[in-house]
Amino acid sequence: MVTLTGEHIRLRALEPEDLDFVYAVENDERIWHVSNTNTPYSRFLIKQYLSNAHQDIFEAKQLRLAICFRDQKKPIGLIDLFEYDPRNHRAGVGILIHEREHRNKGVGAEALALLVSYAFSHLNLHQLYANIDPENEASIRLFTNFGFLRIGVKAQWNLIGGTYRDEALYQLINHQF
């Protein structure tokens, strides 16, 4: 199981005890547009998901880690590698700090730094990408501060609240690969 530790936070594998947290995140309609969720998830389905969380990224094609403060077990967010493509050495990155009081305090930046380092040094990925709503200034700032470059826009890509919205594609190339 993966555990990555930084100065203030750590990223750890999901545990069965995370059921309530993951349930709350997955059923928070305010953020469904970020994860392309359309329906609520039952506790049963999330419990099944957590029971399979032991699968590694090569098997599941994704890696979801809980973001926790170093000295606490309770998660405050999630960070993912998704659409892992071992042939082309790339994956998408998604991050969510669930509670607003933990946002804009460096938690996301530290989590992203840990995950980027892990993806490039341990998984030998050549590139990471992020799909970001062009109006999400906080996410744009977070990813561009790590060197992600905006490489394109998918026009009218997502239907959110009855309106089609663009989605920007950001990419980070590992030049040491």
Which residues touch 149 (CB under 8 Å, ≥6 apart)?
170, 171, 172
- Whole-angstrom distance, CA of residue 120 vs CA of residue 98: 26
**CB neighbours of residue 175 within 10 Å:** 8
Which residues touch 166 (CB under 8 Å, ≥6 apart)?
133, 134, 153, 154, 155, 156, 157
The encoded tokens of residue 154 equal 């998918």
97-152 tens-digit pLDDT: 987 777 778 899 999 999 999 999 999 999 999 999 999 999 999 999 999 999 99
29-38 tens-digit pLDDT: 877 777 667 7
Residue 9 binned pLDDT confidence (cut-offs 50, 70, 90):
very high
Greater confidence, 69 or 61?
69
pLDDT above 60 (res 163): yes
In the chain, the percentage of residues whose pLDDT exceeds 90 is: 62
pLDDT above 70 (res 1): no
The identity of residue 119, as a single letter, is A
